[in-house]
Structure 1
Amino acid sequence: MYQGLLSLASAPPAQLVPPGAVDGIAGEPYAEIVRAVSGFAIAAIATYAVGRLLVLPAVVRVVVARNRNNPTIETAVQTYFHAFVILLALVAGIAGAGFGRLLTDLSIVAAALTLVVGASSQQVVGSLVSGLFLVADPDFNVGDWIAWPGGEGVVEAVDFRVTRVRTPNNETVTVPNTELTANTLTRPYGRQRYRVDEVVDVAYGDDAELALRELVEVARGDDRILEEPDPTARLVSFEGSSVRLRAEFWVGDPMDVDLVTLKSDFRRRVKSRFDEVGLTLGPPSGHELSGELSVDVEDDASAAGGRGSADGADGDAIDPDDR
């Protein structure tokens, strides 16, 4: 008995703990971390894969089938539903990691939502809500030409915060959604045809009726201009030094017609036609002068006599040798 106690007392401290006990005690925290991380990854990846690969395409097909005249909604549904899938995957990952009770605690959820809303600026939240309204508007679609007080161009995409617009100079402009919903938005080319107005000034002495007829004939000679409605020309106003005329004609879908080139070609043909028929295009304006003008007139005879008396008494030239 004493020998056993002596051997136990003299044994090294490491032998007092059963083999493997230390590894088990030290490994428990790491095992919990591994289980939590693996549970989060498996739940999050599985939820995201199902939502992204199965649910999202089905939702997009259903929404597009019910809104065939609103192509913008397809991009918007993909963007917003994708964000929802990511959020749902995070929630599933938290539950899979064993922290599901945190999600059921209303006070924690409310505090988290308050923190998120408080950290987000009012402008960002307003842009998000404005983006939803733009997507729901059937008259606002990707590919439309829009004009607002800050510019104009073709809508390329509607994102959470901004709308991307391609300008006529082929520049991409990011416009805050709040700016588009708060200001007047115009779709000049939204009705499959567009009226073009061209203003021309002619001199008062020219035949205005002839100029009106020539404007109509020039418009009819362009195949890009629609025959119905028929091109027209009107006398608009009387300016200071000219009579102002306006040619009005229609083109098809402006998205398929280069309006800049069309207007330039029309002006060139008008200039050439007016030159042929003798009409003055854009006469120079006159300027009215006011004030006094005085002119000193000297008698020619007295001036000649004065010059003669300076050289000789009788006005004849004096030979230098006679001096």
Structure 2
Amino acid sequence: MVLPQSVDSLVPKYAALLGQLGELLVVAAVVYIPGRYLLEPAVAWLFGRRNMDPTIERALQKVLHVGVIVGTLAVAAAAAGFSGLLGGSALIVAALTLAVGFAAQDVISNFVAGVFIVQDRNFTIDDWIEWDDKAGFIDDIGFRVTRVRTFDNETITVPNTELATTSVTNRMSNDTLRISYKFGIGYADNIDETTRILLDVADDHDEILTDPEPSVRMADLGDTAVLLQARFWIGDPDREEFSETRSEYIQIVKDRCEAAGIDLSTTTQHDLSGKLTVDEPPTSLTSEQ
């Protein structure tokens, strides 16, 4: 008779628990769906109307999404009567605190680093950055990692702390970017004429700026070549424009120098020539053997 009484006493409790869980799910759906599919798109539309910086906009959208989830859980738990149970359970609170303490060390450091990255005006989405022999465009700045798309269309997932504590070169943070290239000509070639060609090619190219002015300087005297360094500037730089302008400039310089009889094929490498001879061993040594 004891067992049936125990079962009879447990059934109402489990039924009440299932009722609370059902209420939790219903309230969560009622709160989450409008927040996810009405509030978040409305805020995104508002951000778009204000022409907000895409990096800041995406970060705020992620914060809003997390807020919708946390708010949904809090409202649903309170409506279903679970808030008192969770709040009063010292064991659950202690377990959650211990778990968060171990698991969130790297998460918190990366989150803080991400906050500093987002607020940095010189570090935005679609920027072309270079660090630790890696390079690519910033695709997304998350709470824990930043995703960088390489020039081979691969995605690198970089912890925010790595970018926050490493020297990062941003080639798109300013309105202009300087391109430099060294040309080697023979010692018998005319330096002044080559300089004129290098400057004329820069002046004729539509993407090369006239202010700052292009310049040509003698960079070095090699063993077999005189090295001239051409420097010029492009505006609103990106990776594609940088590569195209640099390639076109080098190609046109090559063609004009060939037409003028200027040799660009010289190098600074050492050319070794001569004979290798091996002397016969002394006669005395041969006879002793």
Q: TM-score range by the shorter chain?
A: 0.7 to 0.9
Q: Which of 11, 16, 22 is the aligned partner of 1:38?
A: 22
How is 1:143-292 mapped onto 2 (pairs within 5 angstroms)?
143-255=126-238, 257-284=240-267, 285-287=269-271
**Secondary structure, in 3 states, of the residue corresponding to 1:47?**
helix
Q: Which of 29, 47, 56 is the aligned partner of 1:73?
A: 56
1:101 aligns with 84
1:89 aligns with 72
Q: Which of 87, 95, 98 is the aligned partner of 1:115?
A: 98
CA RMSD in angstroms comes to 3.3
Runs of 4+ in 1 over 6 A off after TM superposition: 61-66, 288-295
Moved more, 280-289 or 235-244: 280-289
1:28 aligns with 12
TM-score, structure 1 as length reference = 0.73
Aligned partner letter, 1:272: D
Unaligned runs of 5+ in 2: 1-7, 280-289
Moved more, 48-57 or 211-220: 48-57
Report the CA distance between 1:36 and its aligned residue.
Answer: 0.6
- 1: CA distance, partners of 2:78 / 2:52: 41
Report the CA distance between 1:97 and its aligned residue.
Answer: 2.3
Higher-Rg member (1/2):
1
- Shift in CA distance, 123/77, structure 1 to aligned 2, threshold 3 Å: same
Q: Which of 109, 116, 122 is the aligned partner of 1:139?
A: 122
Equivalent residues of 1:233, 1:248 under 8 A apart: yes
**Secondary structure, in 3 states, of the residue corresponding to 2:116?**
helix
Identity %: 34
Report the CA distance between 1:120 and its aligned residue.
Answer: 1.0
Moved more, 97-106 or 165-174: 97-106
- 2: CA distance, partners of 1:279 / 1:266: 16
TM-score, structure 2 as length reference = 0.81
Give the total of aligned pairs.
274
Aligned partner letter, 2:166: N
- 2: CA distance, partners of 1:178 / 1:150: 17
Unaligned runs of 5+ in 1: 1-23, 296-323
- Shift in CA distance, 102/137, structure 1 to aligned 2, threshold 3 Å: farther
